């Protein structure tokens, strides 16, 4: 049986335990330049000091037009490398490997006439915009932007990259047949766009740099999610399993399954690909749940996102058997939500955690 405190190999990288901080954007802390600020550095310092086995840096855009927000961090030009170097040095000082999530929004971003595999009107969610079918030249251009961004991450000293292949963004749009209605190879074999990027990154960055993808288990169904995972397996070191295109996918788990549908999907993908390091996510708020997921589902890493926002020491506290605080699931009004705040975060779960800790001391 796997244990939460066990180390785990993710391609060329070893994580000292099985708790990962998944990508979490912090908008408003940078500006239109997309460069890392001191605030970002201090945020990642606190997360790294909190003892996770791995940190995957936030969704970071590979082109300026593909952004989700005007203040999103970027790796679309060389001038952005220096800031990421500082982040990598900061995280590494705590013996925590550091990846970054490479992102392009496609039809789910700020570009109102956006790139998309096919013409598509997005009506669901905060961003409604029109997507235009990408030409073959445009596809190659964006693939290259992902590869160049990965090279910049490598130059900055990061240990690897994760492609953002879920949550309605561009790679996810290619993977979902309700959005991708192309008749060429990018539509006949939906994984082609992701595969060409992954292979390009591997060729450019070499075998010592971890390459993975955050992938939906349900894109639109679990059967499709497993098919995508099988098609991509040769070209990745890990798969981080989450949800698909909002409104065009169908996440579900058996009624007696104890965790989220995304964890169920991760469990099923692990069964299909037993040798692939598989991460799962959604709704873990304490040590008992984190241990339960690792001990019962067979997956390799448990992602904890909002738990680390409530308490950056989440991993240290859970592994020492201490109170780790609790995300109060204010969703959809999460104070951390990039679209609901101006960068000043007053998280009720964190306030309660700090108050309780003060009382106990
Ligand atoms: C403030 C915030 C920012 C997020 N940013 C990203 C992101 O950049 N990329 C991504 O794939 N998911 C992002 N997510 C989703 C989380 O990685 C995670 O999948 C989700 O919060 C569920 O996990 P949890 O229940 O442990 O919070 C974000 C979530 C939050 C709360």
> Per-residue pLDDT tens for 90-106?
999 999 999 999 999 99
The whole-chain average pLDDT of the chain stands at 95
Nearest partner of 235 among 208, 210, 218, 270, judged by Cα = 210
- Nearest residue by C-alpha to atom 28 in ligand 1: 24
Whether the CB-CB separation of 116 and 133 falls below 8 Å is answered with yes
As a whole number of angstroms, the distance between CA 49 and CA 308 comes to 11
Q: Is the pLDDT of residue 231 over 70?
A: yes
How much is the average pLDDT of 149-153?
A: 99
Q: Give the distance (Å) from ligand 1 centre to CA of residue 263.
A: 14
Percent of the chain with pLDDT over 90: 89
- Nearest residue by C-alpha to atom 3 in ligand 1: 24
Nearest partner of 10 among 309, 255, 300, judged by Cα = 300
User: What pLDDT band is residue 127 in, cutting at 50, 70 and 90?
Assistant: low
Q: Which residues are catalytic?
A: 169
> Per-residue pLDDT tens for 51-86?
999 999 999 999 999 999 999 999 999 999 999 999
Q: Is the pLDDT of residue 154 over 70?
A: yes
> In ligand 1, which atom is closest to the CA atom of 240?
11
What domains can you pick out in the chain, each with its CATH number? 8-360 (3.20.20.70)
- Nearest residue by C-alpha to atom 23 in ligand 1: 282
Question: Which residues in the chain belong to E strands, given as ranges?
Answer: 8-10, 13-15, 19-21, 54-61, 98-103, 113-116, 120-121, 130-133, 160-165, 210-216, 238-242, 278-280, 301-303
How much is the average pLDDT of 291-299?
A: 98
How much is the average pLDDT of 3-12?
A: 98
As a whole number of angstroms, the distance between CA 64 and CA 78 comes to 13
Q: Which of 302, 306, 315, 330 to mutate to test the pocket of ligand 1 (most atoms within 8 A of CB)?
A: 306
Q: Give the distance (Å) from ligand 1 centre to CA of residue 174.
A: 21
Q: Give the distance (Å) from ligand 1 centre to CA of residue 305.
A: 6
> In ligand 1, which atom is closest to the CA atom of 59?
8
- Nearest residue by C-alpha to atom 6 in ligand 1: 24
Nearest partner of 250 among 281, 219, 283, 280, judged by Cα = 219
**How many CB atoms lie under 10 A from the CB of residue 37?**
17
> Per-residue pLDDT tens for 16-36?
999 999 999 999 999 999 999
User: What pLDDT band is residue 124 in, cutting at 50, 70 and 90?
Assistant: low
pLDDT of residue 3: 96
Percent of the chain with pLDDT over 70: 98
């Amino acid at each position: 049986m796997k244990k939460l405190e066990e180390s785990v190999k993710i391609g060329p990288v070893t994580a000292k335990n099985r708790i990962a901080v998944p990508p979490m954007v912090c908008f408003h802390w940078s500006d239109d330049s997309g460069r890392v600020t001191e605030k970002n550095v201090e945020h990642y310092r606190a997360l790294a000091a909190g003892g996770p086995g791995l940190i995957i840096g936030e969704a970071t855009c590979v082109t300026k037009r593909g952004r989700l927000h005007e203040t999103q961090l970027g790796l679309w030009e060389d001038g952005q490398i220096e800031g990421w170097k500082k982040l990598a040095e900061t995280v590494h000082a705590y013996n925590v490997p550091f990846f970054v999530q490479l992102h392009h929004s496609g039809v789910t971003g700020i570009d109102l006439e956006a790139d998309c595999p096919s013409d598509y009107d997005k009506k669901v969610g905060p961003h409604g915009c029109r997507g235009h079918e990408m030409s073959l030249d445009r596809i190659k251009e964006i693939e290259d932007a992902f590869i160049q961004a990965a090279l910049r991450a490598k130059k900055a000293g990061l240990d690897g990259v994760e492609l953002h292949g879920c949550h309605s963004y561009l790679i996810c749009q290619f993977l979902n047949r309700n959005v991708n209605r192309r008749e060429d190879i990018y539509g006949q074999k939906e994984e082609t766009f992701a595969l060409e990027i992954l292979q390009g990154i591997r060729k450019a960055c070499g075998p010592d740099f971890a390459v993975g993808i955050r992938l939906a288990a349900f894109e639109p169904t679990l059967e499709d999610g497993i098919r995508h995972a099988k098609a991509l397996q040769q070209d990745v070191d890990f798969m981080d399993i989450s949800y698909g295109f909002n409104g065009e996918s169908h996440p579900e788990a058996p009624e007696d399954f104890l965790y989220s549908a995304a964890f169920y999907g991760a469990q099923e993908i692990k069964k299909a690909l037993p040798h692939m390091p598989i991460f799962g996510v959604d709704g873990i708020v304490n040590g008992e749940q984190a241990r339960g997921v690792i001990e019962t589902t067979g997956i390799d890493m448990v992602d904890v996102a909002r738990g680390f926002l409530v308490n950056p020491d989440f991993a240290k506290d859970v592994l020492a058997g201490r109170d780790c605080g609790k995300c109060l699931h204010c969703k959809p009004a999460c104070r951390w939500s990039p679209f609901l705040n101006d960068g000043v975060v007053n998280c009720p779960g964190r306030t309660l955690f700090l108050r309780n800790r003060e009382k106990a001391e």
